[in-house]
A and B are shown apart, each in its own frame.
Chain A
Amino acid sequence: MEIIRWGILLVLVLPVPFFLGFIPVKHMNRLQKTPAMTYVCGWFVSFFLFELTAVPFILLEQSFTVLVAVYTCIIAVVLAVSLWQGRHLWKCYFEDLQGIRDMPGAVKLGWAVFFLIVLFQMAYAVLYEYYDGDDSYYIAVAVLTDKFDTMYLRDAYSGYIYPLDVRHAFSPTPIYQAWIARLSGIAPAVVAHSVLAPVWLMFMYCIYGQIGSRLLWNRKNYKPVFMILIAVWFMYGNISLYTAETFAMTRTWQGKGMMAGMVIPALFLSLIYLAEESVSQGMWMLFICVCMSAVLATSISFMLIPTITGMASVMIGLKKKSVRFAAELFLCCTPCMLLAVCYMIVR
């Protein structure tokens, strides 16, 4: 029974996000059609759908079981569509894998070093625990949600009934983790600390890998060097309690860690590609999903995302000499701003 539970859990965090990524990646250009980009897109599609589904259910004080049923059905449908749409992508992935054989020895060595560093970080995340006081809120919310079938209607510190916690209701990362816990039958603390911590580290490096692919598109052999430096940068980024690196490495599973480690780099990844002359539809999809995922991660996104997107629209619009493009880019954060308005109203 335990094996089945762990099997379901691993399916939920490895192949499911990968397959969900087929839809945006299908609409991307050849350079972007990689397994890592697919995995990255899949997680953001999953977050995007969850944010859209969960927030109304939370605000309407519906039961968690209803949310689980609805969101699981949505994921199942999107997964089916995704698998169908992405059936031609396997060829690209296969070509990518074949490319490994042609790499020079030094590049292979570079990749080996990078993977060893990441493997070490992932193993450390599983084998060592990190005390963080905020877990007693976030994980406790996931535990309460799963147990009492209500969302943000109980005090995380006592378990007593409580008015709706609007401050956190718009950023329901713990509810997302409770969904994984409910489907797999594995406790939320285990899901967060022993599974999402290493898996989301891998997810984070996939994002940086895609950034590296764009920055060094004509110097591919230097990509492992960039990735090694990034991995070392994160490992030694704990210069204070406040850095993005500290949050990404020590609180990977929390919304804040997700924002620092995954959402903001993914935002830059999308913007780098959106600044190109021809932008693929898939990149637009990813950008919209990332903007929405930021809200799922933390409510500071209500301020950060419109600011960054606004400035990016001006800059990229100016570069492309296109007001229309600038407007389209800024419109991508409309769902985020609508949620911000709702937040202000119900707060």
Chain B
Amino acid sequence: MLNELAAVTKAVMEDVLLYNNKSFLIPLFLIALLFLWVTEKDRKLRVVLLYLVAAIGIVFLCPIYAWVGMKIDADIYYRVLWSLPMGILVCYSAVKLMIHFKAFVSKLLVLILAVLMIVVNGELVYTNSFHIRSVNTYHIPQQVIDVADALKLDNYKPIAVLPAELLPFFRQYSADVFTPYGRNILEPAWTFQNDLYDAMEGDRSAYDVAEVARCARNHQCAFVVLSCAKQMNGSMEEQGYFLFRFVQGYFIYMDYNYYWVFKEQGLLDADVIEAGG
């Protein structure tokens, strides 16, 4: 038990360090807490902003509480730190300090220093993350939308296999197509395995077409979407597929086996029938 508690304590400390990264955030928060502890006179505010916040901090760092929390989900235990209102305390402290000074220049200086402290110690969210100019209101790459629209059938929801780069976005746009796997397969920690994914993504520069076709049939995929950025070792036509569309750098092939069945059942749109001949 003691060993377990020691491990939990270590994990909590790691969470705090990861949360704080190399910044001054948590020390700044502690300084603000201390500052307000000394200067805040309003007893009602003291109870919530100081005593409660300090108690929350202590409880969340407590190994027994953390042990229970980590039993539920160790990966997200760091989120308990969200309960510490760091922004409120730091910004309120800065304002209190500003109020303390009488001269306008001193007040302005405190404000400038406070802003500078946040800016210098912080990281701008827009430059330090995966922000890119959006090309549509969905906020997903346009090629995903075009491929999804091309795959959509009016009377049937087919199964299609997609290149890895489309997986994180495809299902945010469309539920008209089933996929043998999704973004879950891209997350190494989740250890999903799929032979079709291995066939599609095993070689970064080329597709082993015969293997892709074989696996796609095993997974009942009517459509196979291949990126033109990769070479094809072999031809999909030889494997019994036809090229339905070429959309935004992606070849969309349809399996003739499904084509005949779907066509007979009247499930195909006119453009697919035309492409299949």
Q: Decide: A194 and B139 in contact? CB cutoff 8 A.
A: yes
| 8 A Cβ contacts from A22-60 to B | none
| 8 A Cβ contacts from B78-128 to A | 78-83, 85-88, 90-92, 94-95, 98-99, 111, 114-115, 118-119, 121-126, 128
Known: A158-B181, A265-B85. A312 touches B118 (CB 8 A): no
The complex places the Cα of A206 from the Cα of B79 at a distance, in Å, of: 23
**15 examples of A-B residue contacts, CB within 8 angstroms:** A129-B132, A140-B175, A157-B183, A194-B139, A222-B99, A226-B92, A236-B122, A240-B19, A246-B129, A247-B82, A256-B79, A260-B82, A275-B45, A277-B44, A315-B52
Closest B residue to A138 by CB, please name it.
B172
* Closest 10 pairs (CB-CB, A-B): A157-B182, A236-B122, A129-B139, A193-B139, A136-B183, A140-B171, A239-B23, A229-B91, A147-B175, A129-B134
The complex places the Cα of A155 from the Cα of B79 at a distance, in Å, of: 26
Contact of B204 with A by CB under 8 A: no
Instruction: Give every chain A residue within 8 A of B99 (Cβ-Cβ).
Output: 219, 222
Contact of B21 with A by CB under 8 A: yes
Q: Decide: B94 and A229 in contact? CB cutoff 8 A.
A: yes
Instruction: Give every chain B residue within 8 A of A133 (Cβ-Cβ).
Output: 168, 183, 186-187
Give chain A nearest CB distance to B208 CB in angstroms: 23
Complex interface bits, A276-307 against B, C-beta within 8 A gives 1, otherwise 0: 11000000000000000000001010011001
- Which one of B2-10, B68-76, B244-252, B263-271 is at the interface? B68-76
Complex interface bits, A212-240 against B, C-beta within 8 A gives 1, otherwise 0: 00011001001001101110111111111
Instruction: Give every chain B residue within 8 A of A146 (Cβ-Cβ).
Output: 175
Complex interface bits, A111-129 against B, C-beta within 8 A gives 1, otherwise 0: 0000000000000101111
| 8 A Cβ contacts from A147-174 to B | 147-148, 155-160
Q: Decide: B44 and A276 in contact? CB cutoff 8 A.
A: yes
| 8 A Cβ contacts from B133-171 to A | 133-134, 137-140, 157, 167-169, 171
Q: Decide: B21 and A235 in contact? CB cutoff 8 A.
A: no
Q: Decide: A229 and B114 in contact? CB cutoff 8 A.
A: yes
Q: Decide: A143 and B175 in contact? CB cutoff 8 A.
A: yes
Give chain B nearest CB distance to A330 CB in angstroms: 14
Q: Decide: B95 and A226 in contact? CB cutoff 8 A.
A: yes
The complex places the Cα of A211 from the Cα of B88 at a distance, in Å, of: 8
Instruction: Give every chain B residue within 8 A of A97 (Cβ-Cβ).
Output: none
Q: Which of A211, A243, A307 contacts B19 (CB 8 A)?
A: A243
Instruction: Give every chain B residue within 8 A of A128 (Cβ-Cβ).
Output: 126, 131-134
Instruction: Give every chain B residue within 8 A of A250 (Cβ-Cβ).
Output: 125, 129
Instruction: Give every chain B residue within 8 A of A190 (Cβ-Cβ).
Output: 137-138
Q: Decide: A240 and B72 in contact? CB cutoff 8 A.
A: no
The complex places the Cα of A183 from the Cα of B123 at a distance, in Å, of: 38
Instruction: Specify which of A143, A271, A275 lies most central, judged by the most chain B CB atoms within 10 Å of its CB.
Output: A275
The complex places the Cα of A194 from the Cα of B21 at a distance, in Å, of: 30
Contact of B275 with A by CB under 8 A: no
Contact of B232 with A by CB under 8 A: no
Q: Decide: A143 and B173 in contact? CB cutoff 8 A.
A: yes
Instruction: Give every chain B residue within 8 A of A187 (Cβ-Cβ).
Output: 138, 173
Q: Decide: B176 and A147 in contact? CB cutoff 8 A.
A: yes
Q: Decide: A237 and B125 in contact? CB cutoff 8 A.
A: yes
Given contacts A159-B171, A265-B88, 15 further A-B contacts (CB under 8 A): A129-B133, A133-B183, A136-B183, A140-B175, A140-B182, A189-B139, A208-B88, A229-B91, A238-B122, A242-B79, A242-B81, A245-B125, A256-B79, A259-B82, A272-B48
Give chain B nearest CB distance to A333 CB in angstroms: 14
Q: Decide: A264 and B85 in contact? CB cutoff 8 A.
A: yes
Closest B residue to A156 by CB, please name it.
B171
Instruction: Give every chain A residue within 8 A of B114 (Cβ-Cβ).
Output: 229
Instruction: Give every chain B residue within 8 A of A194 (Cβ-Cβ).
Output: 137-139
Contact of A326 with B by CB under 8 A: no
Q: Decide: A303 and B72 in contact? CB cutoff 8 A.
A: yes
Closest A residue to B79 by CB, please name it.
A300
Give chain A nearest CB distance to B275 CB in angstroms: 24
Known: A239-B25, A311-B59. A233 touches B87 (CB 8 A): yes
Q: Which of A137, A245, A260, A316 contacts B48 (CB 8 A)?
A: A316
Instruction: Give every chain A residue within 8 A of B80 (Cβ-Cβ).
Output: 300, 303-304
Contact of A78 with B by CB under 8 A: no
Q: Decide: B174 and A143 in contact? CB cutoff 8 A.
A: yes
Closest A residue to B78 by CB, please name it.
A242
Give chain A nearest CB distance to B178 CB in angstroms: 4
Contact of A339 with B by CB under 8 A: no
Give chain B nearest CB distance to A296 CB in angstroms: 16
Contact of B239 with A by CB under 8 A: no
Give chain B nearest CB distance to A237 CB in angstroms: 6
Known: A130-B131, A256-B79. A235 touches B174 (CB 8 A): no
Q: Which of A137, A158, A312 contacts B179 (CB 8 A)?
A: A158
Q: Which of B49, B129, B183 contacts A272 (CB 8 A)?
A: B49
Closest A residue to B43 by CB, please name it.
A319
Q: Which of B43, B48, B184 contacts A271 (CB 8 A)?
A: B48
Instruction: Give every chain B residue within 8 A of A246 (Cβ-Cβ).
Output: 125, 129
Contact of B55 with A by CB under 8 A: yes
Instruction: Give every chain A residue within 8 A of B171 (Cβ-Cβ).
Output: 136, 139-140, 143-144, 156-157, 159
| 8 A Cβ contacts from A188-220 to B | 188-190, 193-194, 208, 211, 215-216, 219
Give chain B nearest CB distance to A337 CB in angstroms: 15
Give chain A nearest CB distance to B225 CB in angstroms: 15
Contact of A249 with B by CB under 8 A: yes
Q: Which of B22, B52, B119, B130 contacts A312 (CB 8 A)?
A: B52
Q: Decide: B175 and A131 in contact? CB cutoff 8 A.
A: no
The complex places the Cα of A276 from the Cα of B22 at a distance, in Å, of: 38
